[in-house]
Amino acid sequence: MSEELIPETPEQETEENEAAEPIKQRKNGLYPGVSDELAENMKSGWADTELHDLAPIPQAEHTAARRAALSARFPGERLVIPAGNLKTRSNDTEYAFRASTEYAYLTGDQTQDGVLVLEPTGEQGHQATIYLLPRSNRENGEFWLDGQGELWVGRRHSLTEAEQLLGIPAKDVRELAAALAEATGPVRSVRGHDASIEAALTDKVTAERDEELRVYLSEARLVKDAFEISELEKACDATARGFEDVVKSLDKAEATSERFIEGTFFLRARIEGNDIGYGSICAAGPHATTLHWVRNDGAVRPGELLLLDAGVETNDLYTADVTRTLPINGTFSPLQRKIYDAVYEAQEAGIAAVKPGAAFRDFHDASQRVLAEKLVEWGLLGDLTVEKVLELGLQRRWTLHGTGHMLGMDVHDCAVARTEAYVDGILEPGVCLTVEPGLYFQADDLTVPEEYRGIGVRIEDDILVTEDGNRNLSDKLPRRADEVEAWMARLKG
């Protein structure tokens, strides 16, 4: 990784708009090795690369509809939704940027430092403007002297290009903070993404009003539109191919560790999408009993199970969330199959309960009942009845978690929706959720027979509510134990 020729300094942020003044002079000699002749030379000899007549991005009509609904919900108020900024990973390196979900949902843009502003108009509507960093300035040397200049991090769209792509008027984001500081009238903003925007609005917003905006944008994503459904289908299909990649490379994972599995799936995510949608859980052996095992540094041993929970995030930031529990050597032992079949039966009951008009909680209750029945049948809960076990929640020692959640741009989508709209809500067509029951027998759990200890099984699929029931978006991956074994045998050759 190259070291920047000219380090950024705090002064740069306060003087970015002084485009006519060479950076070398504005820095009072902080840029050694840049002669006046070189600075002058770098100003010219560059081709015009402006792009013209660009087609709008595929989701432009959908983002316009989303902004219209937002406008109708908060008439007469200025609405400010930032994309966010780069975050430092260590010293002078940053994490890869991922735009805030709210911003990307409303614009389709994914660039850092962007801000969407909806200005109220006299007709009780809003004028949307997207504030972005324009092309790097070549006259003042910004494009090659600044650590975020285009020769360092790549070309940005011009404001004109952005307008064509996004269907939203675009302005220079470096002018926004000052404009917001002087603005009057009611304002709402999505917090937690851009400190400079929050500072400009500090005396104009309240936490309560801003939270109402964030909750609205979370609930707006409960029902997916056609574009979102197609993206989730794409994510699930790519994820299925990623699982196939893992099965084909299990022999290499056995020779190394769970990290080989993690890296194998990550390669598929980067080939077919933007990234993984969340940290992959590549849990072999007893690690499968840890719900969010993301260290992925353990051994992969024949005769044990691999719990793989992973999802590809598409280039438009929609993620799958799929889990399969696989016998590493390709064949379930009798006990492994017994536990696996119980979880499969629970998932079947849960999926059957997903339909329009059903309560969100129904699929969880259906899955938990099946698991409680199995645990009682296996003698793990004494002489208690299934009804008593469910009443007391005793099955949760081994089921641990809820049976699913909303899915979309975030793996746990719509996370700040009100309880009455989400957990206590009613399913309708366009809702997409996971159904993921599991059984987890910890390695140190003395309440179960020794042979159960260290076995963890979860099966998870992404389920779309349709007009007449549901559709499994991740059904390209087998679920029944015999189908899993046949699939693995075919892939391993």
Domain boundary among 161, 189, 219: 219
Model pLDDT for residues 56-109, shown as the tens digit of each residue: 999 999 999 999 999 999 999 999 999 999 999 999 899 999 999 999 999 999
Q: Is residue 369 part of a domain?
A: yes
Identify whether residues 358 and 477 lie together within a single domain: yes
CATH code assigned at 384: 3.90.230.10
Identify whether residues 251 and 269 lie together within a single domain: yes
Model pLDDT for residues 294-352, shown as the tens digit of each residue: 999 999 999 999 999 999 999 999 999 999 999 999 999 999 999 999 999 999 999 99
Identify whether residues 16 and 68 lie together within a single domain: yes
Question: 3-state DSSP helix/strand/coil percent for the chain, to nearest 5?
Answer: 40, 15, 45
Identify whether residues 286 and 334 lie together within a single domain: yes
Residues forming a β-bridge with 469: 466
Per the structure, the count of domains in the chain is: 2
Contacts 24+ apart (CB under 8 A), 110-113: 110/83, 110/317, 111/83, 111/156, 111/157, 112/83, 112/84, 112/85, 112/86, 113/83, 113/84, 113/85, 113/173, 113/194
Q: SS3 for 469?
A: strand
Give pLDDT, residue 1.
53
Identify whether residues 281 and 159 lie together within a single domain: no
Model pLDDT for residues 125-161, shown as the tens digit of each residue: 999 999 999 999 888 889 999 888 999 999 999 999 9
Domain boundary among 219, 248, 267: 219
Identify whether residues 154 and 177 lie together within a single domain: yes
Domain boundary among 179, 201, 219: 219
pTM of the model: 0.93
Q: CA 400, CA 218: separation in Å to the nearest integer?
A: 26
What is the DSSP code (8-state) at residue 276?
E
What is the DSSP code (8-state) at residue 201?
T
Question: 301 vs 20, which has greater pLDDT?
Answer: 301
Give pLDDT, residue 36.
87
Q: What is the dihedral of CA 80, 85, 87, 88, to 10 degrees?
A: -140
Q: CA 413, CA 398: separation in Å to the nearest integer?
A: 25
CATH code assigned at 206: 3.40.350.10
The domain of 180 spans 10-219
CA 365 to chain centre: 27
Average pLDDT on 408-425 reads: 98
Give pLDDT, residue 16.
41
Q: SS3 for 222?
A: coil
Q: What percent of the chain has pLDDT over 70?
A: 94
Q: CA 86, CA 94: separation in Å to the nearest integer?
A: 6
Identify whether residues 75 and 49 lie together within a single domain: yes
Identify whether residues 136 and 53 lie together within a single domain: yes
